[in-house]
Amino acid sequence: METRKCIETRRSVRKYTDQDVTPEILEQVVAAAAWAPSWKNTQVVRYYAVLNKETKDRIAETGVLGFTWNTKIIQGAPVLVVMTMKTGRSGFEKDGSSSTSKGTHWQSFDAGIAAQTFCLAAHEMGLGTVILGVIDENVIKECLNLPDDEEIAALIPVGYPAEEPKPPRRKPVEELLVMC
Ligand SMILES: Cc1cc2nc3c(=O)[nH]c(=O)nc-3n(C[C@H](O)[C@H](O)[C@H](O)COP(=O)(O)O)c2cc1C
């Protein structure tokens, strides 16, 4: 798919068909997302693909701060991707000191780029995704027994779209772009 078209036609998809998303397909999406740029090429993002229904339902029910809108999305998705970031590397020196005044900002910045790259690659392959930020990090870390040196960046349910959401309005370029 042409890049501009892929960017413009990607939507947050919250309803999915029952069709399985195979591990091979997920590997292809992550292989594309691996090309996202990152701070000094540190590549701190990791993708935990939750295929087990019991674990996925547990996260849906207990890991969304009571936001049942997100519960339903996760329950209906064949796969839930939990995006994490290895901490203390992106934006930090080897001695652990912060390289800039922005502390942990850069690891989240890297994760954001990786998330969009993941979602665009998935869209190109006919999959639907949505980035979920209303989540309970501590609960999900415990559900998956994640290592102490990783933080959760976001959840991304993945599946074949069962809806075609209308594009939400975007701000006009004149409001976004300032020529200086
Ligand atoms: C950081 C971030 C957090 C988000 N969190 C949620 C969420 O918790 N639940 C949800 O349904 N959508 C969530 N979204 C999706 C946005 O609502 C969506 O991207 C926005 O409305 C624009 O729609 P589009 O992605 O179809 O262009 C989130 C998106 C981002 C980037």
Query: What is the structure's pLDDT at 118?
Result: 98
Ligand 1 contacts CB of residue 134 (under 6 A):
yes
Q: Across the strands, what pairs with 132?
A: 155
Mean pLDDT of 46-70: 98
| pLDDT 10s digits, 128-165 | 999 999 999 999 999 999 999 999 999 999 999 999 99
Query: Given this model, what pLDDT does residue 48 score?
Result: 98
Residues of the chain with pLDDT > 90: what percent? 99
What is the pLDDT at residue 180?
Answer: 97
Q: Which of 6, 117, 130, 155 is the best mutation target for the ligand 1 pocket, counting ligand atoms within 8 Å of the beta carbon and taking the most?
A: 130
State the pLDDT at residue 147: 97
- The whole-angstrom separation of Cα 43 and Cα 114 is 9
> What percent of the chain stands above pLDDT 70?
100
Task: Note the pLDDT of residue 20.
Answer: 96
Alpha-carbon gap, residue 49 to 80, rounded angstroms: 6
| Cβ atoms of 33 and 165 closer than 8 Å | no
Find the 134 Cα to ligand 1 centroid distance in Å.
Answer: 10
pLDDT value at residue 72? 98
pTM: 0.98
> Where would I find the beta strands (DSSP E) of the chain?
45-50, 79-86, 128-129, 150-159
Residues in contact with 54: Cβ distance below 8 Å, sequence separation at least 6, in sequence order: none
* Residue of 156, 169, 92, 94 lying closest to 121 (CA atoms): 156
The residue whose C-alpha atom lies closest to atom 7 belonging to ligand 1 is: 132
In the chain, what are the domains? Answer: 3-162 (3.40.109.10)
Q: Which of 72, 85, 132 to mutate to test the pocket of ligand 1 (most atoms within 8 A of CB)?
A: 132
Q: What is the pLDDT at residue 115?
A: 99
Residue 125: predicted pLDDT: 98
161 sits in which H/E element: none
C-beta atoms surrounding 135 within 10 Å: 20
pLDDT tens column, 93-132 = 999 999 999 999 999 999 999 999 999 999 999 999 999 9
pLDDT on residue 61: 98
